[in-house]
Amino acid sequence: MDIREIEKKVKSALGGLKGVIGVKILSQEERGKILELELEAEKHVLYGLGEGLNTGLREILKREIIVAIANDNEFEWPPEPAIQIVSNGEVIGEEIKSPEKAEEYKKQGHVVAGNLVIYRDKTRSVMSARNFTVVFPPMSFKPFKRISEFTDVVSASPCPPGHLFICEKMGTENIPGTLLVGFNIKKKD
C-alpha cells in the first residue's frame, strides 16, 4: 500500500468526524523532532507533581505510520485517560473525561480537582510519596481500527511544544488540540 492510498483511507475515516481541522502523515524528520521536544519537556515538573513520561508517544514511534490530527473542542477524544499520576509504579490518579464521572467519583469519596481524580484508597500513598510521574499513556483510536489494512492502532497526546510544532507544520495555529495516531500496515499473506 503506497502513501497516497494510506492518505485516502485516513481522510475517509476522519471525514465524518466532528472537530477534525487538519490531518498530516508525519515524515521521519518530523517524528524525530517530536521525540526530541518530548524528551526535553519530560525533564520539567508537570502540574506541580513530577516529571512527565509520555509512554503513548513512545508506543506510537514503534509504528510504521504516524498521523497528526489537529482538532477543536468538538473532537471526540479516545475514552481512556490521557493523563495518569503514578507513584512507585501505581496509578494513584488520572484524568476524568466526563462531568458525570467526576460527580460519581466525588460521591464515592475520591478527591476530584478539575478533570483529575485521586483515588481515595491511594491518598495515603499520595501523602507519603516523594515523587510522582505524570504519565501520558497510549490510548485507542476506533476510526482507524475499522480499516482492515491498518493494525496495531494506538493514539497519544503530544507535549505542548510537540503540539505547537505539529500546528506549525500543518499551518493550523491557535487550535486547542492535536492527537497523534500510529499504526502498521497489515502484511499481505
Cα 23 to Cα 87, 93, 162, 169, distances in angstroms: 35, 32, 15, 11
Q: Which residues of the chain have pLDDT under 70?
A: 45-49, 123-130, 189
Q: How high is the pLDDT of residue 132?
A: 81
- Taking each helix axis as running N to C, give the angle between helix 160-170 and helix 28-41, from 0 to 180 degrees, rounded to the nearest 10: 150
Contacts of 85 (CB under 8 A, 6+ apart): 49, 91, 92, 93, 94, 116, 118, 132, 133, 134, 135
> What nine digits make up the cell of 55?
509512554
pLDDT computed for residue 188 by the predictor: 78
Secondary structure element (H or E) that encloses residue 100, with its range: helix 99-107
Give the Cβ contact number of residue 19 at 10 Å. 17
Contact 38, 95 (CB under 8 A): no
Q: What is the pLDDT of residue 174?
A: 82
pLDDT of residue 127: 59
**pTM, to two decimals:** 0.89
Q: Strand, coil or helix: what is 25? A: strand
pLDDT value at position 46?
A: 64
Can you give the pLDDT at residue 178? 95
Q: What is the pLDDT of residue 152?
A: 96
pLDDT per residue as tens digits for the range 160-186: 999 999 999 999 878 899 999 999 999
Cα 56 to chain centroid, rounded: 6
